[in-house]
Structure 1
Amino acid sequence: MHTTSSHYYGNVNPTLLEVVNPSAQRIAEFGCGTGAFARAVRQRCTGVVHYVGIELMADELTKARDALDVALVRNLDQTPNWSNDPELTAALVPDSFDHVIFGDVLEHLYEPHRVLTQAVTCLRPGGSALVCIPNVQHWSVMAQLIRGHWPQQDAGLFDRTHIRWFALTDMRQLLQQAGLVVEKIIPRVFKPENGQTLLQALLPAAQLLGVDPQQFIQYSQPLQYVLVGRKPLGSKASAL
């Protein structure tokens, strides 16, 4: 069985943290790990926060309980209809949360659209989904494909537990199809000098395919994107 170090579950994504509304009062985090992000959110927020954490790994969730008001162990791929789960429906009251958060989680799910759509029902009108998703258009993916090899790693773009892959257009569509208005897209670029030689060499291929060369380079540098999707004010859900 594949195991991952607890450091994987204890990271805090500073870009994701920055888009948390400091006045948020009700937050649900999917894939909360050991609670590191929940603790950081509580420090950021100015008032009392009701925090629901949902996590696949029971051992990791045990370490998070001090940071959570409600802690549930769930495999969301095995819970297709949340309305059939009394604990989930009690914890995730429709139209009541300021944020639902997915930090590097959706790519691990067989049905990310179904999960995100159900999570959106929990948002109050005007509330927002905060998501971070790896970018499959990153230059390092192209480099590996040219070499004819797909690495199997413990974390990052080549995490062996990834099931779905997204470029930026796919990420936008995922949020929009879940009923959200994409309000903010923040690229996370690390060591932008890396990969430049490869990208310049691939510019003729981009032009051959009718892709704007500068857009190609721009979209191939982020390792991840953080997106903020707002639930329209007129949108309400009566049930999960």
Structure 2
Amino acid sequence: MSKYDFGYQLEAGSTNEWAFQMVQENSRVLEIGPAIGNLTSHLVKDKHCTVDIVEIDEEAGKKAAEFAQRAQIGSVDGNLNTDTWYHNLQPEKYDYVISLDVLEHLENPEHVLQNLKKLLKESGKILLSVPNLAHNAVILELLQNNFRYHDLGLLDRTHVHFFAYESMIKMIEDVQLHINYIDAIKKAVSDTEIKCSFEGIPVEVEQYLKTRRFADVYQYLVVLEKKETERIDKLKDGIIRQDMCQTKILVDGLLKNQIIFQNHYDNVSVEVDMEGYKDASSIRLVPVENCALVYGLHAYSINEKGVKKEIGYNWTSGIGIDDNCVVLSEASSEVNYLLESDTKKVEIVFKCKLLSETVIQGMQELEKQKKQFLQLLNEKNNEINEKNNEINEREIKQQETETELYKVIEQKDMLNEELTRIKSHIFYRIYMKLYRMLHRK
């Protein structure tokens, strides 16, 4: 029995169910690799399609052939690695060619896709499903230095080629086909056949894996046409949206005024209407309840006239790098903003990256060293200031001494002048007295 024998019931959420829904009734269909004919039987019975098949597994192919009009089966006619099947089906033209999880088994998938294109009507469509090697489950295996093949799934041991999004797109472009519809079957790591988990993975690596494009895509579902048309893109940016963070605002720091927002780590935006909080003077932000790097942090207050003004935080219990970047050193680290009395609305935006405890411990040690350095610098500055004060005091005393000395010298000069004056007076009196005495005789 073929390992791809899943019975004849269309499993909800499977590639077969997707293809069945995409095919219109009464269509001419070529199905590549139908296994026992699960999809084939439903296309014929439920949608009245005419189906041809190509299947290398002869046992499974014979079962599928019971529902098919033409069947290329076995190691010769059903071998997609040769062109026998293609030549046998010419000059048929099909409304739909269905190839679900087949190309990865082939030696030259691009050449086979080119042949499928030739068998397509001008308005026809190729329905393609391709397993995604870049699923997080495979990456986690590699991060654990492991790569194990499985009987089924992403690492099916019969896979010859592996595809991720970009390599799949390039293959399609190389054969000059155009995507008019793209979607995916998605699975969480825990839902795949690969037994792995995020346990033991650094938290920043875990966050990156969970937020990278197409991380949870298990199989790409693509509709191709010969002519380019407007594409229906159900993948969009491919980011997993289930990995959300919780942001809290406490008006005036009060738990009773707590407001909770759900955001994605890469783009957090909160808006608080202050109308219901009369006389509030502050808001306290708890960005995420994890150790994390908060960057691109901007807060704005909007007054009753609609004037918008950016405000900076006045304190944080985390590690403040600058006005727009804070490291949350522990869960529930806070950032506080003071508000003006006329604030009617507050808007805060930021981005966030989770950090491991090791990184936080390193940053806390750096912060501790920074504080020690600043303390030492402050002590040295105080010593320098004390020395400068001593020098200033000495200079002042020296200036006072010099002033006193100048005063003493000035007094001495005055005394000398007075002494000279007195001497002159005494000399004059003596002289006069002698003069009189001489003239009396």
Give 1:17 deviation, angstroms: 2.3
Residues 203, 5 of structure 1: alpha-carbon distance in 2 compared, 3 angstrom cutoff: closer
Q: Which residue of 2 aligns with 1:17?
A: 20
Local SS of the residue matching 1:113: helix
Which of 2, 5, 11 lines up with 2:3 in the alignment?
Answer: 5
Q: Does 1:105 align with 2:107?
A: no
- Larger relative contact order (Cα-Cα within 8 Å, sequence gap ≥ 6): 1
- The alignment-based identity, stated in percent, is 23
Please state how far the C-alpha of 1:44 moved relative to its aligned partner.
4.5
- Secondary structure of 2:66's aligned partner: helix
Of structures 1 and 2, the larger Rg is shown by 2
User: C-alpha displacement at 1:18, in angstroms?
Assistant: 2.2
For residue 72 of structure 1, report the CA deviation from its aligned partner: 0.9
Match of 2:219 in 1: 224
- Alignment match, 2:56: 56
CA distance in 2, matches of 1:177, 1:102: 18
Deviation of the 1:157 alpha carbon:
0.6
Deviations 1:118-173 (A, max 9, x none): 11100001211101110011000001111111112110011100110111122222
Greater strand proportion: 2
* 2:79 is equivalent to residue 75 of structure 1: yes
Q: Counterpart of 1:175 in 2: which secondary structure?
A: helix
Counterpart in the other structure of 2:183: 186
Contact 1:131 1:227 in 2 (8 A): yes
Q: How does 1:25-174 map to 2 (within 5 A)?
A: 25-45=27-47, 48-73=48-73, 74-77=78-81, 79=82, 82=83, 85=84, 88-93=86-91, 96-174=93-171
Which amino acid is the alignment partner of residue 21 of structure 2? E
Kindly state the Cα deviation for residue 24 of structure 1 after the two structures are TM-superposed: 4.9
In structure 2, relative to structure 1, the CA distance for the partners of 1:190 and 1:205 (3 Å cut) is: closer
State the Cα deviation string for residues 43-94 of structure 1 (Å, max 9, x = none).
442xx422110001001111112210011122111x1xx3xx4x64342425
Give the alignment's TM-score, normalised by structure 1. Answer: 0.78
Task: Return the offset for 1:10.
Answer: 6.1
In structure 2, do the counterparts of structure 1 residues 26 and 141 end up closer, same or farther at CA, with 3 Å as the change threshold? same
SS in 2 for 1:163: coil
**Offset of residue 204 of structure 1:** 7.6
Structure 1, residues 77-113: CA drift from partner, whole Å, max 9, x if none?
A: 1x1xx3xx4x64342425x211111111000001000
| Contact 1:134/1:166 (<8 A) preserved | yes
Contact kept, 8 Å, 2:32 with 2:53, in 1: the verdict is yes
Equivalent pair of 2:44/2:50 in contact (CA under 8 Å): no
Q: Deviations over 1:30-52 (max 9, x none)?
A: 1111111111222442xx42211
Question: Whole-Å Cα distance in 1 between the matches of residues 202 and 227 of structure 2?
Answer: 38
Amino acid across the alignment from 2:31: E
Contact kept? 1:31, 1:102, Cα under 8 Å? yes
User: Which runs of 5 or more residues in structure 2 are unaligned?
Assistant: 11-15, 192-196, 229-441
| RMSD across aligned positions (CA) | 2.7
- The 8 Å contact of residues 120 and 179 in structure 1, kept in 2 or not, is answered as no
Question: What are the ranges of 5 or more consecutive residues in structure 1 without an aligned counterpart?
Answer: 207-212, 234-240
Give the SS at the match of 2:34: coil
> Number of paired residues?
213
Cα distance in 2 for partners of 1:196, 1:219 equals 17
Q: In the aligned structure 2, how far is the partner of 1:44 from the partner of 1:176?
A: 34
Provide the C-alpha distance between the structure 2 equivalents of 1:162 and 1:106, rounded to a whole number of angstroms.
Answer: 9
Q: TM-score, normalised by structure 2?
A: 0.44
